Structures are given as structure tokens and as C-alpha cells.
Chains A and B, each alone.
Chain A
Amino acid sequence: MAGMRDIKRRIRSIKSTQQITKAMKMVAAAKLRRAQESVIQARPYAARIQDVLGRLSQGAAGVKNPLLEKREGNKVGYIIVTADRGLCGGYNGNLIRMVNNTIRGQSDVSVVCIGRKSRDFFRRIGVKIEAEFLGIGDLVTYAQAEGIANKVVQMYADGVFDEVRLVFTEFISPLTQRPRDMKLLPIEPVTSKEEQTEAQAVQPLYIYEPSAEDVLNVLLPKYVNTLIYRALLEAKASEHGARMTAMSSATDNAAEMIDKLTLSFNRARQAAITKEIAEVVGGAAALG
């Protein structure tokens, strides 16, 4: 059995760790609430722009835009949204593992890394990193998403990629997050088959000003912006959710460990006392 002093020291060290994990948990919870709010507030815009785009792509069939065209090549670019920091359970690991499994064996793959964790990983295993965006911060702004989107669209136009996929962690609830892999470019028609036929039936005849093509040319880049913005927001909310869960279980584990150590500390103390008594009694007996 370990000495009393050692056990005491360990208890103290675990207690201070517990304090840190507890504080991190509370900070994550507060940030999560804010992040969740911005996810919800960003939804109407995304929904509307999808509506308009859906209607437009039927009403204006045959309109050409480079962002809509499928290309022959097979250079795939992955935009990977992870956190800058760790200590959030499997949040970064799950996403990176998913991408790594998909791209294994493919040759024409390059990545755009958002967040330090994915950058570090892909640099280490030697996948080509086309661009990296670090230090997104806790408050994601639309301008940040726009900057990323512009860069990606530019690279797509320059032929760096023939297809771009967006990989991020979808926020389902504070306790559940799911890695998600979706196609970003070329843009595919957004509505499903059923919705399409229904929409066509009630399709009012729209006037497009200046023209359907011009509207689409402005709308498509915006749509890409929104998708990336949404991915950043969801990823941020997921990160805080994951960190909160991880820190909460770390705090619980610390409490459990402290309980166990306290028990063995008490046992050790009792043993020491018993031993002392035995010695005293033994000594007295020897004298007597």
C-alpha cells in the first residue's frame, strides 16, 4: 500500500485538475449557448436562399454558370472544419479519421484546412494543403465565411479542384454531434424529386431582373458563402458541445478517483494507527 503522504499528494493534484475541467466545462456551456443561438439565427437566411435557388434552377433551366457545371477531372478538394484546440473528446479525431478513411488510396486529393487540428494532421501525413484558415475564434462572422468561400471558389475556377467537398461536424444536440461530408462544388440542384414536381405545378411565372442568368450569377456565390457559414457555425457549436461533454465526464472521473483515493488514504491511516497501537501494546507487554 502506498504511503499516506503519496496518496495525499495525488488527491491534491487530482483536485486541482478537477477544478480546471470544471471551469472549462462551464465556459464551454456558456459558449455553446451563444453558438447555438447563432446557428438558429442563421437558419432563415440559408433556408430562403435555398428556396430561391431551387425555384430559379427550375425556372431558368439551361442557364450556364461555371459553379453548376460538372467537370471531367477527378481532383477532389476537401474543406475540413475542425477546432484550433483540443480537449474536446473525439470531436477533432472523429472528423479527421472519417476524411482520412475516405481519401486513403485516392491520389488526386488536396485539402483546405480550417482549424489548427486538421492542419497539423494533414501536414504530418503529407496530404497537400491548398489553403489553411486558423484562429476562427468563438464568434464566427459571415465575413470570415465569405473570405474562405471566395478563396475556394477562386481555386475552383482556376482548376485547382474539379470537385469540392465540405466536411464538418453537424450539431444535433449538445450531447450529439455527427461528422458530415457534403458536396459543395459543383452546386447540385437543391430540391428533391418530389418537391420539384410539386413546385413546378404551382410555379408562378417570375420576372427576373436584370435576367435569370444575372440573378443566378450573384446568387450562386452567395449560396456557397452560406453553406460555408453554416458549416462554421455548426462546427463551432459542436466543438463547444463536445468539449462540454468531455469536460463533464472528466470532472466526474476526477470525483470518482478522489473518492477511491480518499478511501485508500483512510485505510492507510487506519492501518498506521493499528500498527502503532500494536507496537505500543507489544512494547508494554515486553516490559511487563
Chain B
Amino acid sequence: MATSYLLEVVTPERVVVKQEVEFTSVRSTEGSLGIMANHAPLVTTLDIGLLRFEKDGAADEMTLTGGFLEFAENKATILGNAAERPGDIDVSRAEAARQRAEKRIEEAKNGNAEIDLMRAELALKRALLRLSAGGRK
């Protein structure tokens, strides 16, 4: 039995990752999900969260801001909206995005109907993810 499989992370702009991995962990909309080789065919929607993949004991991480994961015949394809390696994250920009999002949520809660609360919350979630991933490196 194969113990590794091909993982591809594709965003609209380019192919970000294409390599053999042994284990992948993602955050799906239903909760955390770990995938090893020979997993059953699966299609799932992804939440904003961290993608982690391992090969030979070495782990790599990436932030994902939603998308899909498809697994079939020992090939995993992640169609992400945006994927970044922690090293590429601009922490100050993420911090600015966090503050902006928090302010918008505050305003929306104070009854400003022009602001889309859901969008602001999603923006905050993305900013927090980038901060936590980017800050660790």
C-alpha cells in the first residue's frame, strides 16, 4: 500500500504546491480533517484555517482562506481562494486588516446597516489566521 500521495494546492492565480505528502490536515467547514493515503473519495468545502502537510516527518504549513478539497485515487486537490506560506505573510498588513475588520464589526453592531457584518467577520477571521501563522515564524 502506498503511504504517500500527491497533494496539489491550486489558487486561481497559480499552482502553489505540488508534491508527495504522507499526511494532510485542513479545516473543513465541518471541523478539522486529517487525510492519509488511500482515503475514501471525498469532496468538502474548506473553512478559513491552516493547512498542514507532512512528508518524512517534516511538516509544512500554509494559510488557506476557504475553498475546496477533493480527494480521489490517492490524489488530493485543494482549490483555494488564496494560499500563503507563513514566511510570505505581511504581518503589519494583516494587523491593519484585523483592526479595520474589528472596527467594522463594532460599527455594524452599533446599528450601521451599511456594513455587512458577515463579510467583516470573515475578514477578521482571515486576518487573525494570518497573524497567528505569520507571527510564529
Which A positions have Cβ atoms within 8 angstroms of B? 38, 41-42, 44-46, 48-49, 52, 56, 141-142, 145, 204-210, 212, 214-215, 218-219, 222, 225-226, 229
* CB atoms of A42 and B12 under 8 A apart: yes
- Per the bound structure, the CA–CA distance linking A209 and B32 in Å amounts to 12
CB of B96, distance to nearest CB on chain A (Å): 17
CB of A157, distance to nearest CB on chain B (Å): 16
In the complex, 9 of the A-B residue pairs with CB atoms within 8 angstroms, ordered by the A residue number, are A41-B15, A42-B13, A42-B14, A48-B10, A48-B77, A52-B43, A141-B13, A142-B12, A226-B12
Query: Contacts of B42 on A, CB cut-off 8 Å?
Result: 206-209
* CB atoms of A229 and B12 under 8 A apart: yes
* CB atoms of A215 and B68 under 8 A apart: yes
Query: Contacts of B40 on A, CB cut-off 8 Å?
Result: 205, 207
Query: Contacts of B72 on A, CB cut-off 8 Å?
Result: 204, 206
How many interface residues does chain B have, given as a range? 20 to 34
CB of A188, distance to nearest CB on chain B (Å): 20
Query: Contacts of B13 on A, CB cut-off 8 Å?
Result: 38, 41-42, 45, 141-142
Given A204-B73, A210-B29, 15 additional A-B pairs, CB 8 A: A41-B15, A42-B13, A45-B12, A48-B8, A52-B68, A52-B79, A204-B72, A208-B43, A209-B29, A209-B43, A209-B44, A209-B45, A210-B30, A212-B43, A225-B12
* CB atoms of B28 and A45 under 8 A apart: no
Interface centre among A44, A46, A222 (most CB of B within 10 A): A44
- Is chain B's interface secondary structure helix, strand, loop, or mixed overall? strand
Return the chain B residue nearest A229 by Cβ: B12
Q: Does B135 contact A (CB under 8 A)?
A: no
Q: Does B34 contact A (CB under 8 A)?
A: no
Which of the residues B41, B43, B73, B79 comes within 8 Å of A45, measured between beta carbons?
A: B79
CB of B37, distance to nearest CB on chain A (Å): 15
**Chain B positions 75 through 106: 1 when the CB is less than 8 Å from some CB of chain A, otherwise 0:** 00101000000000000000000000000000
* CB atoms of B30 and A44 under 8 A apart: no
Q: Does B107 contact A (CB under 8 A)?
A: no
Query: Contacts of A56 on B, CB cut-off 8 Å?
Result: 43
Q: Does B4 contact A (CB under 8 A)?
A: no
* CB atoms of B45 and A215 under 8 A apart: yes
- Per the bound structure, the CA–CA distance linking A160 and B80 in Å amounts to 31
* CB atoms of B79 and A49 under 8 A apart: yes
- Per the bound structure, the CA–CA distance linking A226 and B67 in Å amounts to 13
- Per the bound structure, the CA–CA distance linking A56 and B41 in Å amounts to 12
**Chain B positions 54 through 73: 1 when the CB is less than 8 Å from some CB of chain A, otherwise 0:** 00000000000000101011
CB of A134, distance to nearest CB on chain B (Å): 22
**Chain B positions 16 through 55: 1 when the CB is less than 8 Å from some CB of chain A, otherwise 0:** 0000000000001110000000001111110000000000
* CB atoms of B12 and A218 under 8 A apart: no
- Per the bound structure, the CA–CA distance linking A49 and B80 in Å amounts to 11
Interface centre among B42, B43, B45, B79 (most CB of A within 10 A): B43
Query: Contacts of B44 on A, CB cut-off 8 Å?
Result: 207-210, 215
The verdict on A209 contacting B28 (CB below 8 Å), with A42-B12, A45-B11 known, is: yes
- Per the bound structure, the CA–CA distance linking A126 and B72 in Å amounts to 51
Return the chain B residue nearest A206 by Cβ: B41
* CB atoms of B10 and A210 under 8 A apart: no
- Per the bound structure, the CA–CA distance linking A145 and B11 in Å amounts to 14
* CB atoms of B79 and A207 under 8 A apart: no
CB of A101, distance to nearest CB on chain B (Å): 33
* CB atoms of A219 and B30 under 8 A apart: no
* CB atoms of B77 and A209 under 8 A apart: no
CB of A149, distance to nearest CB on chain B (Å): 11
Return the chain B residue nearest A226 by Cβ: B12
